[in-house]
Amino acid sequence: MSWEFVCTLGDVASGEFKRVTVDGIDLLVVGAENGISVIPPNCPHLEEPLENGMCDGAVLTCMKHLWQWEISSGKPVGLAEAPLKMYETKIVDQSVYVFIEEELIYEYGE
Protein backbone atom coordinates (compact mmCIF):
# COMPACT_ATOMS: atom_id res chain seq x y z
CA MET A 1 0.00 0.00 0.00
CA SER A 2 1.74 3.08 -1.24
CA TRP A 3 1.66 5.80 -3.85
CA GLU A 4 2.74 4.38 -7.22
CA PHE A 5 3.78 6.28 -10.33
CA VAL A 6 1.27 5.90 -13.20
CA CYS A 7 2.27 8.38 -15.91
CA THR A 8 2.97 12.05 -16.50
CA LEU A 9 0.26 14.64 -17.11
CA GLY A 10 1.50 15.00 -20.68
CA ASP A 11 0.85 11.31 -21.39
CA VAL A 12 -2.96 11.66 -21.30
CA ALA A 13 -4.75 14.67 -22.78
CA SER A 14 -8.32 15.58 -21.85
CA GLY A 15 -10.67 12.97 -23.28
CA GLU A 16 -7.94 10.38 -23.86
CA PHE A 17 -7.32 6.98 -22.24
CA LYS A 18 -4.15 5.19 -21.21
CA ARG A 19 -4.26 1.61 -19.93
CA VAL A 20 -1.50 0.76 -17.46
CA THR A 21 -0.63 -2.01 -15.03
CA VAL A 22 0.65 -1.13 -11.56
CA ASP A 23 1.68 -3.90 -9.15
CA GLY A 24 -0.21 -6.43 -11.30
CA ILE A 25 -3.44 -4.37 -11.27
CA ASP A 26 -4.88 -3.11 -14.55
CA LEU A 27 -5.91 0.55 -14.47
CA LEU A 28 -7.42 3.00 -16.92
CA VAL A 29 -6.08 6.54 -16.77
CA VAL A 30 -8.57 9.05 -18.17
CA GLY A 31 -7.76 12.64 -19.05
CA ALA A 32 -10.38 14.93 -17.57
CA GLU A 33 -10.95 18.64 -18.03
CA ASN A 34 -9.74 19.22 -14.49
CA GLY A 35 -6.93 16.66 -14.29
CA ILE A 36 -6.62 12.90 -14.33
CA SER A 37 -8.88 10.11 -13.08
CA VAL A 38 -7.77 6.52 -12.53
CA ILE A 39 -10.44 3.82 -12.64
CA PRO A 40 -10.83 0.07 -13.15
CA PRO A 41 -10.57 -0.62 -16.90
CA ASN A 42 -13.99 -2.21 -17.40
CA CYS A 43 -17.55 -0.92 -17.24
CA PRO A 44 -19.40 -1.77 -14.01
CA HIS A 45 -22.32 -3.02 -16.11
CA LEU A 46 -21.07 -5.87 -18.31
CA GLU A 47 -17.25 -5.80 -18.23
CA GLU A 48 -16.91 -3.85 -21.50
CA PRO A 49 -13.44 -2.23 -21.75
CA LEU A 50 -14.05 1.48 -21.11
CA GLU A 51 -11.15 2.43 -23.37
CA ASN A 52 -13.48 1.39 -26.24
CA GLY A 53 -15.78 4.21 -25.15
CA MET A 54 -15.66 7.97 -25.49
CA CYS A 55 -14.76 10.79 -23.16
CA ASP A 56 -15.21 14.49 -23.83
CA GLY A 57 -13.12 15.46 -20.80
CA ALA A 58 -16.19 15.70 -18.56
CA VAL A 59 -18.36 12.65 -19.31
CA LEU A 60 -17.18 9.10 -20.00
CA THR A 61 -19.49 6.95 -22.15
CA CYS A 62 -19.38 3.16 -22.44
CA MET A 63 -20.35 2.41 -26.02
CA LYS A 64 -21.84 -1.03 -25.33
CA HIS A 65 -25.02 0.19 -23.59
CA LEU A 66 -24.39 3.96 -23.44
CA TRP A 67 -23.89 4.17 -19.68
CA GLN A 68 -22.25 7.50 -18.74
CA TRP A 69 -20.39 8.99 -15.78
CA GLU A 70 -18.88 12.28 -14.69
CA ILE A 71 -15.22 11.41 -15.03
CA SER A 72 -14.11 13.71 -12.20
CA SER A 73 -16.39 12.05 -9.60
CA GLY A 74 -17.56 8.73 -11.06
CA LYS A 75 -21.17 9.84 -10.53
CA PRO A 76 -23.68 8.16 -12.89
CA VAL A 77 -25.30 10.26 -15.62
CA GLY A 78 -28.30 9.28 -17.73
CA LEU A 79 -28.79 5.52 -18.07
CA ALA A 80 -25.98 4.38 -15.77
CA GLU A 81 -27.22 2.57 -12.69
CA ALA A 82 -23.93 2.31 -10.80
CA PRO A 83 -21.09 4.74 -10.12
CA LEU A 84 -17.53 4.25 -11.32
CA LYS A 85 -15.07 3.14 -8.68
CA MET A 86 -12.11 5.50 -8.58
CA TYR A 87 -8.58 5.24 -7.26
CA GLU A 88 -7.16 8.08 -5.19
CA THR A 89 -4.65 10.08 -7.22
CA LYS A 90 -2.21 12.89 -6.68
CA ILE A 91 0.00 14.94 -8.96
CA VAL A 92 3.54 15.86 -8.01
CA ASP A 93 5.76 17.79 -10.42
CA GLN A 94 3.66 16.76 -13.49
CA SER A 95 3.77 13.08 -12.42
CA VAL A 96 0.53 11.20 -11.67
CA TYR A 97 0.51 8.81 -8.71
CA VAL A 98 -2.19 6.38 -7.63
CA PHE A 99 -2.80 4.95 -4.17
CA ILE A 100 -3.74 1.29 -4.35
CA GLU A 101 -4.90 -0.17 -1.07
CA GLU A 102 -6.64 -2.99 -2.93
CA GLU A 103 -7.86 -3.65 -6.46
CA LEU A 104 -11.26 -2.06 -7.11
CA ILE A 105 -13.51 -4.76 -8.55
CA TYR A 106 -17.11 -4.67 -9.72
CA GLU A 107 -19.48 -7.52 -8.94
CA TYR A 108 -21.14 -8.71 -12.12
CA GLY A 109 -24.41 -10.62 -12.15
CA GLU A 110 -24.77 -13.74 -14.15
- Write 12-15 long-range contacts (CB < 8 A, 24+): 12/36, 12/96, 14/57, 15/54, 15/55, 15/56, 15/57
pLDDT(110) > 70: no
pLDDT(25) > 70: yes
The domain locations on the chain are: 3-95
Rounded Cα gap, residues 74 and 48, in angstroms:
16
Q: pTM here? A: 0.93
pLDDT value at position 109? 63
What 3-state class would DSSP assign to 10?
Answer: helix
**Region 100-106 average pLDDT:** 93
Please state, rounded to an integer, the average pLDDT across all residues of the chain.
94
pLDDT value at position 34? 84
CATH 2.102.10.10 for the 3-95 domain, yes or no: yes
Q: What is the pLDDT of residues 50-88, one digit of tens each?
A: 999 999 999 999 999 999 999 999 999 999 999 999 999
**Region 39-60 average pLDDT:** 95
pLDDT value at position 50? 97
